[in-house]
Structure 1
């Protein structure tokens, strides 16, 4: 416990630091710090698996050791997809995992409309035993924004 000696009119006065009083006096500031810290950490804590930028994904594809899995709906896939991407919508992924067994030894790049779908698919694939699953950060929108080609 922190003890401060204070001199008042020639007398020594002990001033004990009281942590409970400090907590009560500063509860509002402590709450703000905890909430803002949690808000900053939340995206990092909720992301599952590895993520890659469009440039990282391009390098994986160019090495020839990656398979692209597009987990968007068939309509979204038809509007434009990454070249050579295999389409299995997220809703059907559990039923169609056997189609991907031959790709377990390769990197599997998961592409969704957004990070949410891609992360959900990456988590399912990780539980199914796929070792190297990489989620395209930002989804197809980030791919287009980077000026990279889409196939139709």
Structure 2
């Protein structure tokens, strides 16, 4: 270990670009993790969603494309097109006290929708990490069709 610390300044001097890239990547990872920890909604795993369904009966909103929703969705999820997603809608506003879980095909496009729910006063907002694909990979049951 002592030898490593003596050679480190020489390595950094000889490989300045690599050292700078390492520092940039390290800072980026730290910033992303801090942002993830400070956001007001949580990301669930399929097992975590199963636990939430069993304990609190959350409102499941699937924001996938309609064709993807018909192919496979989490049982009990309601389809809402992303373009028509409105947290202020009267039906959704009634569920302000319930946990709300946002789902889509792969779990990537849910940040803005979750932030809109938080801004509209929803207290318990979750997203399904990995979306329906993660749900299927966990070998959990899926529903097909529009129900």
TM-score band (shorter)?
Answer: 0.7 to 0.9
Q: Which is further off, 76-85 or 114-123?
A: 114-123
Unaligned runs of 5+ in 2: 1-12
Structure 1 counterpart of 2:72, from 72, 80, 83: 80
1:92 paired with 2:81, answer no
Output the TM-score relative to the length of structure 1: 0.73
| Distance in 2 between residues matched to 1:95 and 1:135, nearest whole Å | 15
How far off is 1:68 after superposition? 0.6
Structure label with greater radius of gyration: 1
Q: Which runs of 5+ in 1 are unaligned?
A: 1-24
Higher relative contact order (CA 8 A, sep 6+): 2
Q: Give 4+ residue runs of structure 1 displaced > 6 Å after superposition.
A: none
RMSD, aligned CA: 2.5
Correspondence for 1:54:
46
- 1:57–1:136 contact (8 Å) kept in structure 2: yes
Q: Verify: 1:149 aligned to 2:127, yes or no.
A: no
- The number of residues matched between the two structures is 130
Distance in 1, matches of 2:124 and 2:26, equals 31
